[in-house]
């Protein structure tokens, strides 16, 4: 079990985290050309304290680590490490390559510590757990907990992935097999304007639905659930994703699993937004932020809204690739918090889930009255993960084999040096 001195995750996890899957060639041609240092510094200045990355996201860990280290080592105003909440993942190597063996997990964590310039990681997920067997997930979670308890390099342990029901099954299995619940679970792409499946029963107030995945997570003891990819990995944008798989207009065409018909349906949402003087990105972000803040908190899987606030909110990971995108998201988030604080001060929930601000009322009406009907059968549509024909290209005999790149030796040397200073 986690040390008793470890505070509850709900009291330490920031309600809004900067997701950096966008610091990757899947989203931009050259991630190194992004103003990543400026993005991270601006996030801190806006009050965003959490950063989510993964070794699977190309150079993301390296770029985030470089940006944070520049702040940690600033000569004028160094950022204390404890003021930042760093989240990364382990187990996914490539699109079709996974290694959940204890040896690889251990190596991956040591490498992440180096890349992120830190002696500990606040939260680590096993990445995209639906791609491996439950037994592999269980073994990997046990290794993360060993690294937490025996080496102190991890504070909290969780899982992440795409299909909520599979994630719930794994959370239930881990509690059943170990007697200890997961600290956190991150679901992506399943609480958006188009796909509401993570919390659809709560969203539509189906109180009798005992099969609700949020209720299953809560029963399995998962303390916090984070919602990620509010834009459906680029699907819910004004530009959208071209339906033609041969198009060269967007790098997302090469890998995004959405069918052409769904891309066309979501393009229509952009037209509805434009007719109201809005951008689909703004509407989708605001809707997901405000509704997950409410639904996550009401389901008992939220976090503290901020220091000194009694408000609980569902936590969100937002991915950006520019400072304007970051500033837009934070502005929307601040508007959500303001509306919820006013609602709490008024003593409850208003009819129609309108929180008392013109902005929120406009977004809710646009989404519920126009966008959801326009989606038709594509509302709550989700694709299979893994897709048909998936095979883990990591051969069984190669699982647990780690590169001879000095990562483990360097980690052992750092540990030795720390102990010599005690």
- Supply the residues annotated as catalytic: 57
- 82, two tokens: 């404890």
User: DSSP of 80-133, one letter per residue?
Assistant: PGGG-EEEEEESEEETTEE---HHHHHHHHHHHHHHTT-S-EEEEEES-GGGS-
How far is Cα 354 from Cα 134, in angstroms, rounded to an integer?
41
User: DSSP of 175-240, one letter per residue?
Assistant: HHHHS---SEEEEESSSSSS--TTTHHHHTT-TT-TT-HHHHHHHTT--EEEEE-TTTTTTSSSS-
How far is the CA of 271 from the CAs of 66, 169, 229, 328, in angstroms?
40, 38, 21, 20
How far is Cα 202 from Cα 360, in angstroms, rounded to an integer?
19
Taking the CA atoms of the chain, what radius of gyration do you get in angstroms? Answer: 21
Q: Is 395 helix (H, G, I), strand (E, B) or coil?
A: coil
Looking at the DSSP bridge assignments, the partners of residue 152 are none
Contact present, 323 and 38 (Cβ < 8 Å)? yes
How far is Cα 172 from Cα 157, in angstroms, rounded to an integer?
15
User: Which helix or strand (DSSP H or E) is residue 159 part of?
Assistant: strand 154-161
């Amino acid at each position: 079990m986690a040390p008793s001195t470890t505070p509850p995750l709900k009291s330490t996890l920031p309600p809004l985290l900067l997701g950096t899957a966008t610091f990757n060639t899947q989203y931009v041609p050259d991630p190194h050309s992004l103003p990543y240092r400026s993005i991270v510094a601006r996030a801190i200045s806006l009050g965003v304290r959490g950063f989510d990355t993964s070794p699977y996201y190309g150079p993301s860990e390296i770029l985030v680590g470089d940006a944070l280290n520049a702040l940690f080592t600033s000569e004028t105003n160094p950022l204390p490490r404890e003021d930042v909440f760093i989240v990364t993942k382990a187990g996914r190597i490539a699109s079709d390559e996974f290694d959940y063996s204890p040896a690889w997990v251990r190596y991956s964590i040591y490498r992440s510590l180096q890349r992120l310039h830190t002696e500990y990681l606040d939260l680590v997920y096993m990445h995209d757990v639906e791609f491996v067997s439950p037994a592999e997930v269980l073994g990997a979670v046990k290794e993360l907990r060993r690294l937490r308890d025996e080496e102190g390099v991890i504070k909290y342990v969780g899982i992440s992935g795409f299909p909520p029901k599979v994630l719930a099954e794994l959370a239930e299995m881990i509690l059943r097999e170990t007697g200890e619940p997961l600290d956190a679970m991150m679901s992506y792409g399943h609480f958006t304007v188009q796909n509401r499946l993570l919390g659809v029963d709560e969203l539509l107030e189906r109180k009798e639905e005992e099969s609700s995945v949020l209720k299953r997570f809560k029963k399995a003891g998962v303390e916090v659930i984070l919602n990620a990819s509010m834009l459906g990995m680029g699907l819910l944008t004004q530009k959208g994703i071209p339906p033609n798989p041969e198009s060269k207009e967007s790098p997302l065409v090469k890998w995004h699993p959405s069918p052409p018909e769904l891309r066309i349906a979501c393009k229509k949402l952009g037209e509805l937004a434009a007719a109201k003087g809005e951008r689909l990105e703004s509407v989708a972000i605001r809707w997901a932020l405000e509704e997950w803040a409410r639904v996550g908190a009401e389901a008992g899987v939220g976090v503290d809204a901020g220091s000194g606030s009694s408000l609980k909110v569902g936590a969100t990971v937002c991915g950006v690739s520019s400072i304007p995108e970051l500033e837009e998201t934070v502005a929307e988030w601040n508007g959500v918090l303001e509306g919820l604080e006013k609602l709490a001060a008024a003593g409850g929930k208003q009819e129609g889930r309108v929180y008392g601000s013109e902005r929120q009322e406009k977004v809710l009406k646009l989404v519920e009255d126009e966008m959801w009907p326009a989606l038709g059968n594509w509302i709550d549509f989700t694709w299979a993960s893994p897709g048909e024909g998936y095979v883990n290209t990591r051969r069984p005999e190669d699982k647990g084999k780690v590169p001879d790149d000095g990562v483990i030796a360097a980690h052992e040397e750092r540990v030795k040096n720390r102990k010599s200073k005690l």
